[in-house]
Structure 1
Amino acid sequence: MAGDQELISRIRGETAELNRNNVTRTAAYWELYRAFPELHWAFLAHMVSRNGGWGMTDLKGEWLPRLLDDRLAGAIFEMLETCNGLIFGDAYPQLRLYAEGRRSGRNLSGLLPEFGISTFMPPFWERFWADGNPVPLTEALVVNEQNNLQLRVVEDAHYRRTVLDSPAFRSQALLQTNQIVFPLWQGEAAGGARPLRLAGRVLESFEDLRERIEFGISLYGLLFGYPRVLRAVSAFARHVPHTGSRADYWPHRFATNAHGKNGEFAGADRAAGNSPWLSPRLAQAWSDRAPPRVEPRDWYRDAGAFGYIEPVRPPRIVDLTHEHLFGQYKLQAAVLLERSLMKGARSRRTGLG
């Protein structure tokens, strides 16, 4: 139908436009969730995408530039941006088709193949149209997107060589790429009361497909399994636009601009906590990159992937506030240790130690 082809072309163009960077993607997820709150995955993706932006700007923030050379930092950003862009490029057309279907009163799931969507997904969209249950659909989207990343990033020789096999990335705890945090808004009257507490989870191994899927489903359980958490995180999303800076949620700990000599933070030279740590906005840290080209390959091969679709159990431990702050102190300690080792090496070379 001519109308369908026009819609397909419009969604493709919209997806490309919104896939410019982490900020535009994150906002797009939120707008879809606001319009269609039954799309639980859109809100989960919005909050995880915020974390993706924070991870990107960490590479130009207070600590990591002191530990990583520019080449490795650039390679890590490229991989994070690719992961972010791949997920958006695959998932956003699915969400938009649903939105258009709701507006027109017509199930448009038959158009999913036009966007190269895996054959794993159409049955879940059909089921969602039939019963309106968001849980299986959300789990299926988690499974689908993590398998896409496995095929196109984790198993890709380029990313293995430039990032995944590097000692720095293997120390995910050092890079803070293993923490996903959901800031909990404290109410309009307490909008200035900081710090916000953080709910969240810790991923042990990025390279393990099963663990990433179970981690994503656990985050879903955390976000939607506790009404108070959902209300507080939703309020944060409403009140705080995403910029990529960790100052979005902890302005008492992070600042978007430098304040030290020559425009640089004194950072590790100061006592911990006396001044905010540098966390730039995404636009300050990185320029837009062209979205990754995706080969038309379907990851789905066998019914084993359906084993993840089961009742969601919310995690028992949800507060990550202290662990998140401890992670920042670990980065600071790593900087101090590296400086101490470098100073010792210089002293031995010059005999002035």
Structure 2
Amino acid sequence: MSSIEVLKESLLRKQKVTLAKNPSETERKIIQEIKFKTEELNKNNITRTKAYLDFYKKHPEIQWAFLAHMVSRNGGWNMTDLKAELLTRLLSKKEKSSFFSFLERGNWLIFHDAYPQLLIYEESVKRKKPLFRLLPHFNVSIFIETIWEYYWKSSNSSLLTIGLIINEQNYIENRVIQNQNYIKDVFSTLEFELQDFLSFNQILFPYNDYGVTKLAGQTVNQFESLDERIQLGKRLYAILFDKEILNKVEEWAMAHPHSGSRKDYWPHIFNDVHEGIPGLKYQIKLSSCKLKPGARKIYSPTLQNVWKNVKHPEAEGGEWFSDFNVLEYLDGLDDPSIGNIEFDYCQTLERLELAAFAKKIISILD
């Protein structure tokens, strides 16, 4: 049988199980420890992003952890962009707050769902026996529980990674993307900026190449589409784990702790200290993604300096898996297409600069 046929049979059996086995005293202790550790590391984008990388260092076979680390870095950059020099001139205080809430909730939820899975795997490795039957105690989907069980037997890292991509995007679909508050306050209000201006258009994987920091990645389109987000995740995975790129991105990530500032990858253009006087009319600084002679760097703050930790409400319950057609996403990966993401990103920066130049700052204090 193919892997998809095996998974389908396993899922059919799981759907018939309505009562989880009572955990032993040892298992209850494991569950409590994992819940505590997850909560401790789910404080903000910085702690989450580091936790993914720390796990990957110990378990490089779980490739999703490094993909999650790099995508979470981009989430942090998007959060600080809202208070950085360019977007702060284009968005109102309410828009910035709404967009941060949207980004933060998604980032928090994915960690809340995925990190216990990683720790259950780690505990299974330590004890040399699978403990995935404990996953229902973390309210994870039977879909990803089945994927983990299959991985334990098959060691198919690619299938596990794609399975986690499918799971996490479905997990946030109703909790964030289809949430009426975010539809009203984010997608509707900021539709124009999302499509034409915001630097959320690119997910970047920086890497060093002969002393120069280059960018791999993908441009995001139709973020509201579940199918497109899953396909994007698969494309990003193919790019990141391409043999020509992976070691270079790993080296860069290990050498540059995540701060939330875009200075992390381009310190020649960005600074986490504002070099100008807030409130002055914006002056164009870039030409072909290089600072003009005498121009000061673009302000890109660290996350801890512009956003406080958020106390989140409990994650919404519910099982997302209901359609076996989702298994079709597990079919392989296309060849990676890195494309000229650096050119696209530079174009985005130039559009943002022009927009900031054309629009008066809303408020010096905002």
Aligned to 1:238: 254
> 2:162, 2:313 → 1: CA distance?
25
Aligned to 1:214: 231
Give runs of ≥4 in structure 1 deviating > 4 Å: none
Residue 127 of structure 1 aligns to which amino acid in structure 2?
Y
Matched, 1:26 2:53: no
Q: Which of 318, 342, 348 matches 1:297?
A: 318
> 1:290, 1:314 → 2: CA distance?
41
> 1:38, 1:169 → 2: CA distance?
41
**Secondary structure of 2:140's partner?**
coil
The alpha-carbon deviation at position 203 of structure 1 amounts to 1.2
The alpha-carbon deviation at position 265 of structure 1 amounts to 8.0
> 2:335, 2:197 → 1: CA distance?
27
Structure 1 183/271 Cα, relative in aligned 2: closer, same or farther at 3 Å?
Answer: closer
> 1:251, 1:171 → 2: CA distance?
25
Aligned to 1:269: 283
> 2:193, 2:38 → 1: CA distance?
32
Structure 1 126/158 Cα, relative in aligned 2: closer, same or farther at 3 Å?
Answer: same
Q: Deviations along 1:113-142, whole A, 9 cap, x unmatched?
A: 010001111121111100111111111110
> 2:192, 2:123 → 1: CA distance?
40
> 2:36, 2:68 → 1: CA distance?
21
**Secondary structure of 1:250's partner?**
coil
Matched, 1:260 2:283: no
The alpha-carbon deviation at position 326 of structure 1 amounts to 1.6
**Contact 2:206 2:215 (C-alpha < 8 Å) held by counterparts:** yes
> 1:41, 1:219 → 2: CA distance?
11
Q: Which of 139, 151, 157 matches 2:180?
A: 157
Q: Which of 297, 303, 308 matches 2:329?
A: 308
**Secondary structure of 2:206's partner?**
strand
Residue 16 of structure 1 aligns to which amino acid in structure 2?
E
Aligned to 1:128: 151
Matched, 1:248 2:271: no
Structure 1, unmatched stretches of 5+, are 343-353
Q: Which of 131, 144, 163 matches 1:140?
A: 163
Alignment RMSD:
1.7
Q: Deviations along 1:207-244, whole A, 9 cap, x unmatched?
A: 011000000011000011x2121011000111000000
**Secondary structure of 1:110's partner?**
helix
User: Structure 1 stretch 89-98 or stretch 162-171: which is displaced more?
Assistant: 162-171
**Contact 1:265 1:278 (C-alpha < 8 Å) held by counterparts:** no
Structure 1 318/235 Cα, relative in aligned 2: closer, same or farther at 3 Å?
Answer: farther
Residue 233 of structure 1 aligns to which amino acid in structure 2?
V
Aligned to 2:221: 204
**Contact 1:168 1:175 (C-alpha < 8 Å) held by counterparts:** no
- Residue correspondence of structure 1 range 22-171 to structure 2 within 5 A: 22-168=45-191, 171=194
Aligned to 1:346: none
> 2:125, 2:281 → 1: CA distance?
51
Matched pairs, number: 332
The alpha-carbon deviation at position 336 of structure 1 amounts to 1.9
> 2:183, 2:128 → 1: CA distance?
45
**Contact 2:270 2:297 (C-alpha < 8 Å) held by counterparts:** yes
**Contact 2:41 2:47 (C-alpha < 8 Å) held by counterparts:** yes
**Contact 1:82 1:292 (C-alpha < 8 Å) held by counterparts:** no
> 1:216, 1:93 → 2: CA distance?
21
TM-score, normalised on structure 2? 0.87
> 2:215, 2:327 → 1: CA distance?
32
Aligned to 1:283: 304
**Secondary structure of 1:177's partner?**
helix
Structure 2, unmatched stretches of 5+, are 1-23
Residue 214 of structure 1 aligns to which amino acid in structure 2?
Q
**Contact 2:284 2:354 (C-alpha < 8 Å) held by counterparts:** no
Residue 129 of structure 1 aligns to which amino acid in structure 2?
W
Structure 1 18/271 Cα, relative in aligned 2: closer, same or farther at 3 Å?
Answer: closer
> 2:264, 2:192 → 1: CA distance?
25
> 1:292, 1:206 → 2: CA distance?
24
> 1:271, 1:82 → 2: CA distance?
33
**Secondary structure of 1:268's partner?**
coil
